[in-house]
Structure 1
Amino acid sequence: MISSEQDLSMDRFRIVSEVGVGGMGKVFQAVEQHSNKVFALKVMHNHLKNDPTNRMRFEREAKVAIDLRHKHIVEVTAYGFTESNEPFIVMEFLEGVSLQDVLKQKHRLELQEFFATFAGVCDGLSYAHESNVVHRDIKPSNIMLVNGDFNESKIVDFGIAKVCKQTGEVCPETASALKSIVTSVDAPSALNSSHAVETTVKMLVSQEGASVLQNLTQPGEIFGSPLYLSPEQCMGEEADCRSEVYTLGCVMFESLTGTPCLKGSNAMETLLLRVQNDAPSINDLDEGQKFPVELEKVVARALHRNPDERYQSVRELGTALKAANLDLDQLE
């Protein structure tokens, strides 16, 4: 255990304030007593601490991230337990906003904001991949802009990260059920088969808990991973670092256009759209703005349904983005 190396306890810290709440736990601003340094403490919810799956996921975040040292990845320094046996993670305290918050406020990024943000994200994620770690949950809420600076993006939350070339987030049973729906009938006809959809969705959420079942099958706002999964992850096929190229393509698409890529009326329809359809061009949306052709090509290649046709690494994607930005600078 990481905690055994440092013998951490909450007594080492003075809690200043609660700064956030998530599905797994609460995040506090805290001061280390002996050094007076400010940290963020992510403490697991008390009601989850005895659940082996949730506990393993929480601990995985610490174990994976603690070895990653990069300016565009949140720094995790230690892991410990409260007196009531709740795991907690010690990480650098980030003041700023998430990309999700920015998009809610201003709908989409300006081009220079976009290039600055994703230069850092690609750099950090490339480092993680080259360290044999796939994040598997890249989305706007997991990209922080420190002090609101687009040049200071940081990737957070490695709670479901895995080493490269392991299976994607959707379990094999889900993949089999989803594949049978996709290949046997066309959506939206497939969506009318309530029994098939219910069976598939129940398996889909087996790793996340029954509480998200309703959000997957009912119309309305869709949050989290379904909007950013690659087609091969939706099908449960072998996923490698190229899957994260597609995921980044989804986040880039949304950041530029203000519209999620291939979003259905519910999460299940979104998964089916992702498997069955090519992504639209960023210039296909009637938003009154046309993007540079080179940037359009970069996003389109990142979003190719066939992994072999995408950029073969996030490093390659980052290089292409820099070239597109350089072309834009020369035009100006």
Structure 2
Amino acid sequence: MPATSKTLSENSTTPKVKSRDGFGQSSSPERASNRQAQRFYRGRFAIFRTLAERWHAAAGLVRRRWFGLIAALVLVSTLLTLWIGLIARNSMREVTRESMQTILLANVSSLEMWLSEQRAIARRAAEPESIQSAAAALLSKSTSTKQQESVALPNSAALNTLVSELRNDAHIGWCVVTLDGVVVASSVEGLVLERLPIPETITRRIIGLETAICHPFASPIAMQDSGPLSIPGGPVMASLAPIKNGAIAVGSLMFLLDPLERFTQLLSVARHGQSGETYAFDSDGVMLSRSRFEDQLRDAGKLPSDQRVVSTLNVLIYDPTDEVTVRNKTSSTRNQPRLTFMADQATRGGTGDNVVGYNDYRGVAVVGAWTWLPEYELGVATELDVDEAYRALGLLRRSMLGLLALFGTAVLGIVVLGETTYHMHRKVDLFRESSRGLGKYAMGELLGRGGMGSVYKGTHQLLQRPVAIKVLAKDELDELDELSASRFQREVQLTASLQHPNTIDIYDFGLTDDGVFFYVMEYVDGLTLQELVDCYGAQPPGRVIHLLIQICGSLAEAHQKDMIHRDIKPANLLLSSFAGVSEIIKVVDFGLVKKVSTVSCDDTLTRTDSITGTPMYMSPEAVRDAALTTPQSDLYSVGAVGYVLLTGQPLFDAAGSVDICMKQLNENPIRPIERLGRPLPEDLQNVIMSCLRKNAGERPRTAEDLALALRSCNDANTWDEFESARWWEDVLRSSNADASSCGKTNDGKHDFVTET
């Protein structure tokens, strides 16, 4: 790529960069260069020049009108401070609202996935006929005897054996319960004949032959040797499945769960700062999860000193500073606390937020967001102390007051004016120096090279933000004239309009005098899906679904804007993990050049003169004629990516691109289970194979339809944020031990953007 090499060479002259509006032609190179430079500096330094001139004028006024100028500056500064403070407060509140809602959504999603999983476990445990028969016999015997003792049946041993095999570390035990809550058999010693406080709504679901989750209730006995469940009244929750006698429910099979483990842990994963917490509560305002502030509650006397008594079921979501006087029929009075503002709104079935501030159950001013989950009859709230949420705002307020004090004296005002003028000139000089690079970006090392250009790591010289810069050489594009430049500009603007979080962000673009297009995108640390498969092989079905759904989200937005990617492949799908997000996909290279030609299957996988895709992941219609590509062509590529992730192998075994193209046109890929040679979920295989049908009309109609089909798979919720976090932790640990493996850097991360 001659133009690019010249641009990046240390000994070559630095190219001048044409702005986004500077795509016109010039009569001569010298005149064009002058006109481009004039446009460049006019647009970008006008503000600096204007400000500098005004500061110089202000300095002259200081010398002539000392007192008048100082008074005017103080007045203007005061009004400006108030205005900025108002804007900063509103902006901070909006940021806080978005942060609270994001954390709440993440925690609620994790909680709902776990609750759904527990219901599924209970359903599967109760499905076998042997379990149904044994449990129904126990329930039948319990209703026919009046003796207050446990009943031993011949097939109760079989029930005990079968159910005990389904236990896992998350279950305290199991029990068979009548419709009115009496335990007739249990793996927990001492629980038989106890009556459990099962809500009427749960009983109705059991009668309707539905599985259910019973939120935490007080255990009638001690169930463990230590901890909160070592005393009666300790918190326990359960998942229930109906036991049938024919088509009628006669009781339920109940799995006992410790709410202080996964239930509470799921709500404490995405905590905000030092005072943020997410907790669950019921319609009476009783806390169902564990509070982060139990030490404070014990000090305040709201919990006993016994460490076995925890906040779950023992703390009311009431405002301790807000007590109202209630008069009863005998004219006596009593103090009755009110629900907190959040709990009052949520228990009415509402979803909302409050970023102004209200008192929580500790009596501390907080901001928060909340929602009510009617299916489980509980609410979830995320809260953060006001002092911590708006600490930066207080600092800004104090800074502004200090700034007003600076304008209080004429001498200090003159010094500020002089220093400001000097620094303004310095910024202009630095900006001019930075413009001698590739625009306002300093070029770094080469990250990758492909058929249509090269990708470099760069840095925004003023913001010092790392970016990835893709350089497209003039000789790689056909008929690079003003029309082609305008088309490129329009396509970059369309791509930059994509807002989906799974789409790579584009920051900037331009054209050098040497005829080199470039565009700037976000720089990502992680690995491509190609590296994922190369290094770690076939992926679990749950993770495959999790990743494909994210890809569908990005494509859905693009397709709605009539944009087709044309080159979905593992190397163009970036996988990363960062604070607050356990695992995220970034889709890159959205068809920035729309001038396409028919793909010819030569001896390379991606032609340098056709930016339309890679044969192994191209649909049959794209192989025939690139002009025939549709959104369903992208879905074919998504299916090919899913095939590779699920099996660790490509669609076809082929010697070269010609062979690949022929197989894409004439052969159907082998079903993943046959390719891999081990059991795989049938529903996921069916979804992937539906994407790989030769006839585009037989594929999923839209990316949203494909995502819906993926979410309907049985393994859709098996890969959660805990699995992701554990996987990334193992990857970082292994990469630190062996930095040379799988293309990792010495710091244990992957430096990459995309294969060009």
TM-score normalised by the chain length of structure 1: 0.73
Secondary structure, counterpart of 1:304 in structure 2 = coil
Distance 1:83 1:263, change over 3 A: same
For residue 534 of structure 2, what is the aligned residue in structure 1?
Answer: 104
In the TM superposition, what is the alpha-carbon distance from 1:81 to its structure 2 partner? 3.0
Distance 1:19 1:322, change over 3 A: same
Residue number among 667, 677, 691 corresponding to 1:302 in the alignment: 691
For residue 157 of structure 1, what is the aligned residue in structure 2?
Answer: 589
The residue type equivalent to 2:559 in the other structure is H
Residue number among 695, 701, 709 corresponding to 1:320 in the alignment: 709
The 5-angstrom pairing of residues 64-75 of structure 1 reads 64-75=494-505
For residue 234 of structure 1, what is the aligned residue in structure 2?
Answer: 623
The 5-angstrom pairing of residues 5-20 of structure 1 reads 10-20=438-448
More strand by share: 2
Confirm or deny: 8 A CA contact 2:452 2:608 kept in the other structure: no
The 5-angstrom pairing of residues 64-213 of structure 1 reads 64-82=494-512, 84-147=514-577, 151-159=583-591, 162=594, 171=598, 201=601, 208-209=608-609
Distance 1:111 1:93, change over 3 A: same
The residue type equivalent to 1:156 in the other structure is V
Counterpart CA distance in 2 for 1:2 and 1:291 is 53
Q: Which structure's relative contact order is higher, taking Cα pairs within 8 Å and 6+ residues apart?
A: 1
Confirm or deny: 8 A CA contact 1:117 1:150 kept in the other structure: no
For residue 457 of structure 2, what is the aligned residue in structure 1?
Answer: 29
Counterpart CA distance in 1 for 2:682 and 2:602 is 42
Query: Which runs of 5 or more structure 2 residues have no equivalent in the other structure?
Result: 1-17, 23-38, 45-434, 719-756
Distance 1:270 1:132, change over 3 A: same
Confirm or deny: 8 A CA contact 1:18 1:29 kept in the other structure: yes
Secondary structure, counterpart of 2:520 in structure 1 = strand
Query: Which runs of 5 or more structure 1 residues have no equivalent in the other structure?
Result: 175-199, 211-223
Distance 1:138 1:98, change over 3 A: same
In the TM superposition, what is the alpha-carbon distance from 1:104 to its structure 2 partner? 1.1
The residue type equivalent to 2:587 in the other structure is I
CA-to-partner distance for each residue in 1:86-127, whole Å, 9 max, x for gaps? 221111111111111111112222223212211211110111
Which deviates the most, 315-324 or 57-66? 57-66
Confirm or deny: 8 A CA contact 2:474 2:516 kept in the other structure: yes
Secondary structure, counterpart of 2:531 in structure 1 = helix
The residue type equivalent to 2:560 in the other structure is E
Counterpart CA distance in 1 for 2:666 and 2:679 is 26
The residue type equivalent to 1:154 in the other structure is K
In the TM superposition, what is the alpha-carbon distance from 1:140 to its structure 2 partner? 0.6
TM-score normalised by the chain length of structure 2: 0.34
Distance 1:4 1:146, change over 3 A: farther
RMSD: 3.4
Counterpart CA distance in 2 for 1:261 and 1:205 is 14
Confirm or deny: 8 A CA contact 1:2 1:63 kept in the other structure: no
Mapped pair 1:311 → 2:700: yes
Counterpart CA distance in 2 for 1:142 and 1:263 is 21
CA-to-partner distance for each residue in 1:269-291, whole Å, 9 max, x for gaps? 22222222223211121x34211
Counterpart CA distance in 1 for 2:601 and 2:463 is 48
The residue type equivalent to 2:509 in the other structure is Y
Confirm or deny: 8 A CA contact 2:577 2:583 kept in the other structure: no
Q: What is the number of equivalent residue pairs in this alignment?
A: 281
Counterpart CA distance in 1 for 2:605 and 2:640 is 21
CA-to-partner distance for each residue in 1:38-71, whole Å, 9 max, x for gaps? 2221123xxx324542965994763442222221
User: Between Structure 1 and Structure 2, whose CA radius of gyration is higher?
Assistant: 2
For residue 275 of structure 1, what is the aligned residue in structure 2?
Answer: 665
Counterpart CA distance in 2 for 1:205 and 1:101 is 18
Distance 1:110 1:170, change over 3 A: farther
Secondary structure, counterpart of 2:447 in structure 1 = strand
Distance 1:277 1:25, change over 3 A: closer
Distance 1:64 1:296, change over 3 A: same
Secondary structure, counterpart of 1:284 in structure 2 = helix
Distance 1:284 1:160, change over 3 A: farther
Which deviates the most, 236-245 or 71-80? 236-245
In the TM superposition, what is the alpha-carbon distance from 1:239 to its structure 2 partner? 2.8
In the TM superposition, what is the alpha-carbon distance from 1:2 to its structure 2 partner? 7.2
Counterpart CA distance in 2 for 1:321 and 1:266 is 32
Confirm or deny: 8 A CA contact 1:24 1:54 kept in the other structure: no
